[in-house]
Amino acid sequence: MGDFTLDLNDDQRSVRDWIHGFAADVMRPAAAEWDEREETPWPIIQEAAKIGLYSLDFYAQQFFDPTGLGIPMTMEELFWGDAGIALSIVGTGLAAVGVLANGTEEQIGTWVPQMYGDAADVKVAAFCSSEPDAGSDVGAMRTRAVYDEATGEWVLNGTKTWATNGGIADVHVVVAVVDPELGTRGHASFIVPPGTPGLSQGQKFKKHGIRASHTAEVVLEDVRIPGDCLLGGKDKLDERLARARERAASGGAGGGRNAAMATFEASRPAVGAMAVGTARAAYEYALEYATGREQFGRPIIDNQGVAFQLADMRTQIDAARLLVWRASWMATAGKPFTSAEGSMSKLFASETAKKVTAQAIQILGGNGYTREYPVERMHRDSAIYTIFEGTSEIQRLVIARTLSGVPIR
By mean pLDDT, which of 1-10, 185-194, 385-394 is the weakest?
1-10
Which residues have a Cβ under 8 Å from the Cβ of 131 and sit 6 or more positions away? 140, 141, 142, 143, 158, 159, 160, 161
- Does a structural domain hold residue 394? yes
How far is 18 from 266, CA to CA, in rounded Å?
A: 25
Comparison of pLDDT for 228 and 247, the residue scoring more = 228
CATH of the domain at 185: 2.40.110.10
Comparison of pLDDT for 250 and 129, the residue scoring more = 129
Percentage above 90 pLDDT, the chain: 86
Its pTM stands at 0.93
In this structure, the dihedral spanned by the alpha carbons of residues 58, 61, 64 and 67, taken in order and rounded to 10 degrees, is -110
Same domain? For 131 and 240 the reply is yes
Same domain? For 392 and 269 the reply is yes
Residue ranges in 231-303 assigned as alpha helix (H): 234-249, 259-292
CATH of the domain at 73: 1.10.540.10
**Catalytic residue at 265?**
no
Same domain? For 118 and 129 the reply is no
- Does a structural domain hold residue 148? yes
The total of structural domains in the chain comes to 3
Q: How many CA atoms lie within 13 A of 200 on its CB side?
A: 6
- Does a structural domain hold residue 108? yes
How far is 218 from 200, CA to CA, in rounded Å?
A: 6
Instruction: State the distance between the two ends of the chain, measured CA to CA, in whole angstroms.
Output: 37
Same domain? For 134 and 118 the reply is no
| Residues 15 and 340 sit within 8 Å (Cβ to Cβ) | no
- Does a structural domain hold residue 2? no
Residue 264 vs residues 101, 352, 385: alpha-carbon distances, Å: 10, 20, 13
Same domain? For 109 and 238 the reply is no
| Residues 117 and 170 sit within 8 Å (Cβ to Cβ) | yes
- In this predicted structure, the answer to whether residue 3 has a pLDDT above a threshold of 80 is no
87: containing domain: 10-122
How far is 249 from 210, CA to CA, in rounded Å?
A: 45
Same domain? For 181 and 46 the reply is no
What mean pLDDT, rounded, does the chain reach?
93
CATH of the domain at 363: 1.20.140.10
pLDDT tens digits, one per residue of 188-204:
999 999 999 999 999 99
- Backbone φ and ψ of 408, nearest 5°: -60, 140
User: One of 77, 265, 341, 389 is an active-site residue; which one?
Assistant: 389
pLDDT tens digits, one per residue of 123-174:
999 999 999 987 777 778 999 999 999 999 999 999 999 999 999 999 999 9
